Structure 1
């Protein structure tokens, strides 16, 4: 348990705050921690006896004896008022009785709580009422009497103790093989951050019985447990990342930058003096791999991928948008280390007229969090429309780097063709005599000059449909015909793409490696499809990583 919580609670007890409120699902952990503080004479001047109450047990004395006739909340509060010894009374799940701002409770219970607060504050004996509930629910009448105390989720050290205990308990059984070194255990403990101790223990136990081996591959089981937490928030989407950086054709400069930051949230990197990376903004031509890169980073780093749908933040009741954003941020930090993907960020935070400044406040809170966050949440934001990007978003400190993704070079196009053809020609009946060799890739890369990665993928799909319609293997002519029938974005949006490149020349780093420019030719350099529009080459600074 963090020392900060114990110190904060000790200060509140010494100052004789009458009513405290802790929002937590971990009742037993809360009771253990507050009991340690209340009974420690070095933390509080006067040690306090710890009482507990629930609707099923009634008021239970420090020796474990339950007082009769105290299962009803009103009766229990009356009994608490009559206690004349230094005490800390922990009431579990009292919120249905006292209600909240949007849910009226029992008027008698609310009145008794106010009486109790006044009596505890003025009385000669130090007494404090501690409300523990999984939801934060305070009626307006009690807002000035109740003090909220933050109870943090388990630390990495606490989770590591649980993991080590489970490993020690099962190492000698012979049924489960442990294949985790010290670094592997650190990764498991960090992966479970954001879970309760009970949830973490369940995840570790499930990982062990999954295949009889506990190794790095079982991290996905821990991520699955986190998925439940994310789904319950309703604002973030847990995305399955089934692709790797090797599945992203080209963009070698960006991939090298990302590869160097793999594992930078671990203790080894912190000891080296490195901070956890903040994130990247990826902008450029639509259909060139920005979203695919976000998914690939998650899989390559072995971190959960959360997608923030800004539209959900602004949905719901009037005035709830700010709270939705805080909830989304809190969920992401509870899931850390993780990758937070904000797709088409310029659309989500576009100017919304007539919202009385709501969008500006929500965007401001998001920017402040990005600037000041300390938890390892790596933000990947993608954008297609640079003109709608707020200037504040581009300031240094929000992102570690801004990358520009242009239409693929000849080398990158060959790589993209290889990825899609190899993936879809695993069945010999589909591949036939078509060999995915350098000669075919070079020819297709030349024919697809000016095409984006998404357009190349659709050309492969269209060619497969043609072959399937005739129930025969895929042929080279099918691919060429699919390309010829497609009008690429570089033709229909030539002026727009030119404007995007002009913007990126001085504001972003090129995602394409310099060697791919030199060896592969720049888009529209005359090596490809006849009639392709002339283009100026890649925008973005040619920085090498």
Structure 2
């Protein structure tokens, strides 16, 4: 926060009479208090106007608390017959003898593609006029195409006197049109760093907390503003009396996961404990990436790849592989559907920009873009702008973020995305071979049948060969459905009604039930064979293999033709 205030006053020293501040709503009180304190120390008056009530108030610090005092000089128009009457503050500030800083809250939505064109243009022109009122000179205001609708008393020659006024536009989204962006410098309140969070936690937590406990809390809180952190801690302490530092860290992480889901529409996952059937080459590559993220590798100026692309038919386990890579690296995972940005309209670039800032601040994280190719299916201007924003970020970022993107159709991706220096490694995630399907079956069977847990096996080699033959061209997602259907059918046979059972019998899934469930599944690779083969062929040309050749006893090369 101190850096934000310092940036503002640096702009004021450079004689910028008009600027914009992007600050989240939850940090508004903290921002206003810090600004008022700095203004008080420099003997500058500070005022706040909000569109909500059209009142002007002076910010003051009384007994270390922020107070708002009404300014009687400003009298808003009671009966607002025209839309610009709601923004009478702009005329008042221009003509008033008041000096200092004026914060305008609620202006930003009118500065872009607002349906009320005339009012929007009136506000833009009034803001530019405020910018020109800076020095002791005469400015002739002429009637231009943007100003023809102003009242005649305003559109005539005006004599501007010397002014010590600064106007600050304040809001959570400070997106400006190209016309205004060149005239209005923008300062953004960034997410706090780990060190800033650590200092803040020392101020609000009891002295009984050790340095290590505060460090763990600070790491868990990265990605949230201080107001969110304070609220999360209060919520946890209300739920649990005498909460320990370890439990508080856990509760704060849970709150953070829910908050990021609500604010950014993403899934934030801590490193999961999952198994993967096959994909040995990809897993080995990520073990090497983990070494490149170490401080030793960084001393040699080595970094992990800027981006990894997973390509292949649907259901082959690309999303599951990203979660497995998170487990291998031991770092959290942020999952976002790239196509969702297209539904955000004019806010798409703003939302992507905020999300990239979040990822950068968290730093050591996997950033997974699911269904990456769907975001480019329209091939329109929005897709190109989003791609350009992502490419610029990938090229210029210095954080230790590993980007993973998955795609089914590589042809939809712009060529500049797949060149070296963007997505450095491209892996082909193909249909599982016999050995991989064997591993995938065992992983899913272990969820229901205790005989398959801890490496156990309940089927003979002959039964496995029959099952693997019948599930040829089935992908991991389809195998999971087959096992679930077989488990449900077994449950129905064991308990034909809802009678209570005192002693539960183990659920044992037979090969017969699996084969019967297979009959009700029509694999995508057979149903859409032409499309799937096209995807596989294209992936083979551009991608590295993610699996080793099948060396299991169930491989095709080990099939016995003659006994």
Distance in 1 (CA, whole Å) between partners of 2:294 and 2:231 is 23
8 Å CA contact 1:285–1:497 kept in 2: the answer is yes
Post-superposition offset of 1:28: 4.2
Question: How many positions carry a matched residue from both structures?
Answer: 491
Q: Give the SS at the match of 1:195.
A: coil
Distance in 2 (CA, whole Å) between partners of 1:82 and 1:9 is 23
* Residue in 2 that maps onto 1:289: 317
8 Å CA contact 1:283–1:384 kept in 2: the answer is yes
* Residue in 2 that maps onto 1:19: 18
Asked if residue 69 in structure 1 is aligned to residue 72 in structure 2, the reply is yes
Asked if residue 203 in structure 1 is aligned to residue 229 in structure 2, the reply is no
Q: Give the SS at the match of 1:440.
A: coil
Asked if residue 396 in structure 1 is aligned to residue 431 in structure 2, the reply is no
Distance in 2 (CA, whole Å) between partners of 1:92 and 1:126 is 17
Q: Indicate the RMSD between aligned Cα atoms, in angstroms.
A: 4.6
8 Å CA contact 1:10–1:37 kept in 2: the answer is no
Distance in 1 (CA, whole Å) between partners of 2:248 and 2:530 is 47
Asked if residue 251 in structure 1 is aligned to residue 252 in structure 2, the reply is no
Structure 1 pair 402/81, CA: closer, same or farther in 2 (3 Å)? same
Distance in 2 (CA, whole Å) between partners of 1:425 and 1:92 is 64
* Residue in 1 that maps onto 2:478: 455
Distance in 1 (CA, whole Å) between partners of 2:334 and 2:355 is 12
Structure 1 pair 423/371, CA: closer, same or farther in 2 (3 Å)? same
8 Å CA contact 2:323–2:333 kept in 1: the answer is no
Which one of the candidate residues 438, 442, 464 is aligned to 2:457? 438
Q: Give the SS at the match of 1:402.
A: strand
Distance in 1 (CA, whole Å) between partners of 2:475 and 2:352 is 33
* Residue in 2 that maps onto 1:419: 443
Structure-to-structure mapping, 1:239-388, within 5 angstroms: 239=267, 241=269, 244=272, 246-261=274-289, 273=301, 275=303, 278-298=306-326, 301=330, 303-310=332-339, 312-315=340-343, 320=346, 323-336=347-360, 337=362, 338-350=365-377, 352=379, 355=380, 357-388=381-412
Which one of the candidate residues 501, 504, 507 is aligned to 2:542? 507
Structure 1 pair 335/424, CA: closer, same or farther in 2 (3 Å)? same
Asked if residue 152 in structure 1 is aligned to residue 190 in structure 2, the reply is yes
Distance in 1 (CA, whole Å) between partners of 2:377 and 2:17 is 46
Distance in 1 (CA, whole Å) between partners of 2:395 and 2:463 is 44
Q: Give the SS at the match of 1:21.
A: strand
Distance in 2 (CA, whole Å) between partners of 1:383 and 1:498 is 15
* Residue in 2 that maps onto 1:131: 169
Structure 1 pair 477/133, CA: closer, same or farther in 2 (3 Å)? closer
Post-superposition offset of 1:424: 1.6
8 Å CA contact 1:367–1:398 kept in 2: the answer is yes
Distance in 1 (CA, whole Å) between partners of 2:327 and 2:125 is 54
Post-superposition offset of 1:421: 0.9
Q: Cα deviation per residue 1:361-388 (whole Å; 9 max; x = unaligned)?
A: 4333333333333445533211223444
Asked if residue 81 in structure 1 is aligned to residue 96 in structure 2, the reply is yes
Asked if residue 49 in structure 1 is aligned to residue 44 in structure 2, the reply is yes
Distance in 2 (CA, whole Å) between partners of 1:270 and 1:31 is 40
